[in-house]
């Protein structure tokens, strides 16, 4: 019985590892692992960089020290990816959400459970659409696990680091809604088959009726007052500036035109100068006020920031002209759709 079992899979704890799983590589002789990784479909993740192949072929497992160095490099690269993700969210994602929430005149609670939830779940949606039929169970467990992680770990970490007061009614509403949704999804997938009516039944529950009520109640509200403006649409304090600006809008804190005009002095004039100023990955003000550690972070993230500023259009309520740069936006209008098609293999 044990010999038959070993031919099909090996057990590592409670999880079975089949011979066609990439984790089975540790049961392959050391000298054959590189070729086995290259020929095994499960080791091909479809990413730009084949991390498994880099580890087992470039560094190899013959020398433990060399393999450990390669593993440490991968960990550093992972931290760098988190830095780029945080930079993208702070400088491009959050300002866009603020503009959408401002146009619809949504409160923090409503925007958080609608627009922010959609933006946070967009990568999971596209990942689920392209996942194979054999990955259905993993897809659901990954989505539910990610939701629990965001709800428990992220929210708890924020509460520990920066305590704040929450409104009981919206919190209980969102928590109950989430619990009911998870229970319903568990009920739907219990038999391994999802019918059309079961999938469609979840879609109407996503839009919150409060969105429509909030918009209708505020569509005739007074115009947005002037707020402090920054010369650049991106920077170290972009997300904080957006949060402060939205709070000033809600409190109707106004500034005189002279106060706002003072913010525009440092911005260059002319199409080319304005273009070069806006695509510069390291802002002059950020560099001047940053510490040595922050300067190092600005340097290592600058290549990605340059690409993001070239190809990602941005509207920022805290920037002069809301971040409008004529030459840069015209360039994005021509190049960004082509780049999107290229990335989507269109």
pLDDT digits (tens, 9 = 90+) for 179-199: 888 888 888 877 777 788 877
* Amino acid 39: pLDDT: 87
User: CB within 8 A of 315, min separation 6: which ones?
Assistant: 95, 96, 99, 233, 322, 323
- Token pair in block for residue 332: 């994005």
Mean pLDDT calculated for residue range 148-156: 80
Is the pLDDT at 12 greater than 90, yes or no? no
Alpha carbon 182 to its chain centroid, in Å, reads 22
3 state SS of 9: strand
* Amino acid 69: pLDDT: 94
Mean pLDDT calculated for residue range 286-290: 83
* Amino acid 71: pLDDT: 92
Is the pLDDT at 256 greater than 90, yes or no? no
- Closest among 280, 235, 261 to 320, alpha carbons compared: 261
* Amino acid 122: pLDDT: 64
pTM confidence score: 0.64
Say how far apart CA 71 and CA 247 lie, in whole Å: 44
Is the pLDDT at 206 greater than 90, yes or no? no
* Amino acid 2: pLDDT: 40
Alpha carbon 339 to its chain centroid, in Å, reads 19
* Amino acid 240: pLDDT: 53
Residue 327 burial (10 A CB sphere; 0-12, 13-18, 19+): middle
* Beta-sheet pairing, 9-12 with 15-18: antiparallel
Say how far apart CA 238 and CA 250 lie, in whole Å: 18
* Mean model confidence pLDDT for the chain: 73
Say how far apart CA 251 and CA 110 lie, in whole Å: 18
- Closest among 288, 324, 286 to 302, alpha carbons compared: 286
DSSP class of residue 322 equals: G
Segments of 8-144 assigned E as strands: 9-12, 15-18
* Amino acid 77: pLDDT: 93
Residue 246 burial (10 A CB sphere; 0-12, 13-18, 19+): buried
């Amino acid at each position: 019985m044990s010999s038959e079992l070993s031919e099909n899979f090996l057990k590592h704890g409670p999880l079975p590892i089949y011979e066609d799983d990439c984790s089975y590589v540790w049961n392959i002789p050391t000298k054959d692992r590189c070729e086995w990784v290259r020929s095994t479909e499960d080791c091909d993740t479809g990413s730009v960089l084949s991390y498994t192949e880099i580890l087992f072929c470039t560094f190899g497992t013959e020398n433990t020290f060399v393999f450990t160095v390669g593993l440490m490099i991968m960990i550093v690269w992972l931290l760098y990816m988190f830095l780029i993700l945080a930079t993208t969210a702070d400088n491009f994602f959050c300002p866009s959400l603020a503009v959408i929430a401002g146009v619809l005149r949504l409160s923090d609670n409503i925007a958080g459970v609608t627009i922010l939830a959609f933006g946070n779940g967009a990568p999971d949606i596209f990942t689920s659409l392209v996942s194979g039929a054999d990955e259905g169970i993993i897809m659901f467990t990954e989505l539910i696990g990610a939701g629990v992680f965001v709800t428990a770990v992220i929210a708890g970490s924020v509460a520990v680091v920066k305590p704040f007061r929450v409104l009981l009614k919206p919190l209980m509403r969102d928590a109950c809604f989430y619990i009911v949704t998870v229970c319903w999804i568990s009920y739907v997938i219990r038999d391994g088959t999802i019918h059309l009516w079961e999938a469609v039944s979840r879609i109407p529950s996503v839009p919150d009726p409060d969105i429509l009520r909030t918009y209708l109640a505020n569509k005739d509200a007074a115009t947005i007052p002037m707020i402090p403006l920054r010369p650049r649409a991106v920077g170290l304090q972009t997300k904080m500036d957006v949060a402060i600006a939205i709070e000033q809008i809600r409190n109707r804190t106004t500034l005189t035109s002279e106060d706002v005009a003072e913010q525009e002095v440092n911005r260059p004039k002319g199409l080319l100068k304005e273009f070069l100023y806006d695509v510069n990955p390291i802002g002059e003000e950020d560099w001047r006020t940053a510490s040595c550690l922050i300067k190092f972070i600005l340097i290592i993230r600058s290549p990605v920031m340059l690409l993001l500023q070239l190809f990602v259009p941005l509207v920022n309520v805290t920037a002069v002209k809301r971040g409008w740069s004529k030459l840069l936006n015209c360039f994005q209008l021509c190049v960004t759709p082509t780049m999107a098609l290229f990335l989507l293999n269109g």
